[in-house]
Amino acid sequence: MNYKSFVIKIMAISLVCVFSVGSFIFYIDPMWTFGHEHKYNDVQTVINERQQKTNRILFQPFHYDTLLLGSSRTTYINQTDFENMKVFNFAVSNASIQEYNSLIELAKQKRGKEFERIIIGVDFFKSSIKESKAKKSLNQYIQTANEPFYRYKNLLSMDLLDYSWQNFKMSRDNKVLEERNYNRNNIADAKDIAPEVMEKQTKEKIQKFRDVFYGDTFEYNPEYKAILSQLKKNNPNTEFIIFTTPISSPLFQAMAEEGRLPDYERWLNDITDVFGGVYNFMYPNSVTGNLENYFDGHHFYPNVGKLIAKRISLGSNSETPGDFGTYLDHKSLAAHLLEIRKQNEPLLVNR
């Protein structure tokens, strides 16, 4: 074989390899930039949730009238479980309330107008200065998606080849193997874990919340109410529906024991002042008292997300437990908070 033939052969082999890699990544689409769906890509791992959902909005059809926002807890709500609404779940892991405006603006830009309604799942621990002071936005993810040839450069990524292989295997076996996997319709699921693992994770998570979020370092952000007000001001023609995310009863008890009930009450009052009312799910009840509804006492399974969606969209007509979720306004809030305080009074003796 002469030198010229050798070079041509090597180039041909290289091109075949590059084409094969690119074709497989395109076939699986791990960064959600193309949108096709089949049985070998219907279980997707979370690589970068903000980038993946930004890509989905920018590169795929977007026919929704309702936007759902929140943190990782809210990702487990199936957007199709809301009745009489076309909902897009734009919740992302560790979302800050400071980030919501940029998420709304991106989705509004793609839709071409304001949303009919915006549903926000708010987390109490995210009301602290530590968790809600820093300014955050989606700008870097939007810039990445708008880079020249972004979608096609991804097809040459060896990292994405690895993720594509993971997605292929999970989809082939039709198994959810991680704490959060998505299908091609932006619906998240979580793997089932053994009871003893759940108990261990719950204990560890409660201790983490005591040490990191609910302890002496907690300081309620006095600007929290103003941040909410700005969201409403920026969307004057949109109905806002706010709900609190339900943590397990043991985690709620830890919050009370750490002396955070006054802050919890202020938080609900601030939300009610801005939006006129709130669906509260964050208090001890039959759902939050069942640890089988959680995989760590902090994140609920999608079956709980379904109950939330039905309560919000169907109200008292939904087939949800009667004690799970109550709509609070200025007339009912004080009595609700008094009942919660009475239930937790024994925990406050030494505070």
Residue type, 86: K
Q: What's the rounded Cα separation, in Å, for the pair 319 and 262?
A: 32
In terms of DSSP bridges, do strands 181-182 and 278-280 run parallel, antiparallel, or are they unpaired? unpaired
Q: What is the pLDDT of residue 6?
A: 60
Q: Which pair of structure tokens corresponds to residue 208?
A: 């983490």
Select from 129, 292, 114 the least CA-distant residue to 217: 129
Is 296:205 a contact under the CB 8 Å cutoff?
yes
CA-closest candidate to residue 49, choices 60, 40, 57: 57
- Cβ(278)–Cβ(243) below 8 Å: yes
- In 159-271, beta strands by DSSP E: 181-182, 188-189, 239-244
- The per-residue pLDDT for 208 is 96
**Which is it for the CA torsion 169, 173, 177, 181, positive or negative?**
positive
Query: How is residue 289 written in tokens?
Result: 């008292």
Residue 156 has a pLDDT of: 92
Interacting residues of 99 by C-beta distance below 8 A, sequence separation 6+:
92, 136, 137, 138
**Amino acid 318: pLDDT:** 74
pTM, two decimal places? 0.94
The pair phi, psi for residue 123, each rounded to 5°, is -110, 130
pLDDT of residue 316: 76
Q: Across the 351 residues of the chain, what is the mean pLDDT of every consecutive 10-residue run?
A: 67 72 94 96 97 98 97 98 97 96 97 97 97 92 96 95 97 95 97 94 96 95 97 97 98 95 97 98 96 96 97 86 95 95 68 48
Nearest to 185 by CA among 89, 312, 92: 89
Q: Cα separation of 65 and 74, whole Å?
A: 18
CA distance 35 to 305: 25
Q: What is the DSSP letter of 325?
A: -
Determine the pLDDT at residue 349: 46
How far is the C-alpha of 241 from the C-alpha of 89, rounded, in Å? 14
Q: Write down the residue that tokens 């992302």 correspond to.
A: 92
Q: Which two tokens mark 348?
A: 């406050």
What are the angstrom distances between the C-alpha of 190 and each of 182, 211, 255?
9, 26, 25
On whether the CB atoms of residues 90 and 69 are closer than 8 A, the answer is yes
Q: How far is CA 335 from CA 194, 257, 338, 347, in A?
A: 39, 21, 5, 19
**Most distant CA atoms of the chain, gap in Å:** 90
